[in-house]
A and B are shown apart, each in its own frame.
Chain A
Amino acid sequence: DTEVTQTPKHLVMGMTNKKSLKCEQHMGHRAMYWYKQKAKKPPELMFVYSYEKLSINESVPSRFSPECPNSSLLNLHLHALQPEDSALYLCASSQLTGDGTDTQYFGPGTRLTVL
């Protein structure tokens, strides 16, 4: 089973709202990732969690706040977003083999619209 689930599928929020995106995997993977993807562009890495600890933050604005409550769950808390933050947000997980063989498996994504 290579399933990563994400909720919600679609989210519309105002610039003053606070919302959260949720990602879950039950493959025993030890690394989880958040990506942002604009239309017709490749995904851009935002955050990486390895063994439930934040290992990479790609200079993401503080209005995005990641959280990894346990090895299966990854949240992305959103606050005071801008319209340019509208995008597809993808979650992924991988085994963390520590070498080039580590395959990332992606969830279906959350389409976020900021009004």
Chain B
Amino acid sequence: AQKITQTQPGMFVQEKEAVTLDCTYDTSDPSYGLFWYKQPSSGEMIFLIYQGSYDQQNATEGRYSLNFQKARKSANLVISASQLGDSAMYFCAMREEYNFNKFYFGSGTKLNVKP
């Protein structure tokens, strides 16, 4: 089974609007971390936000927030007030405690912000 599933290959959003990128995960490890990365066309993977499995509150970092629903095993990224510079590929990733050397990536979502 896929460890990380991103079901939206591509998405469009109007500038200044909010957008949600979906991510579901599969693990039986009680301790894990969920991560979102942004990859512009230049290639660099930029760390955006982290959510721990035991965290009670949803993580937020500036315009990024993570909608963590543990029972549903989902960790959606919400970008508020989209900017043209947000156009990029977004990857959801997971690390499990018992297999902490490995990072599982989803297939990615290509976000296009329209002016």
Residues A105 and B47 in contact in the complex (CB < 8 Å), given A43-B105, A45-B102, A99-B97: yes
Q: How far is the CA of A106 from the CA of B42 in the complex (A)?
A: 13
Q: Which of A88-115 contact B (CB under 8 A)?
A: 88, 90, 92, 97-109, 111
Instruction: Give min CB distance, B47 to chain A, whole Å.
Output: 6
Of the listed stretches A11-19, A21-29, A48-56, A72-80, chain B binds A48-56
In the complex where A45-B103, A101-B33 touch, is A108 in contact with B108 (Cβ < 8 A)?
Answer: no
Interface presence of A69 (CB below 8 A) = no
A100 close to B95 (CB less than 8 A)? yes
Q: What B residues does A88 contact at CB under 8 A? A: 43
Please, which residues of chain A bring their CB within 8 A of the CB of B89? Answer: 40
Q: Is the CB of A42 within 8 A of B101?
A: no
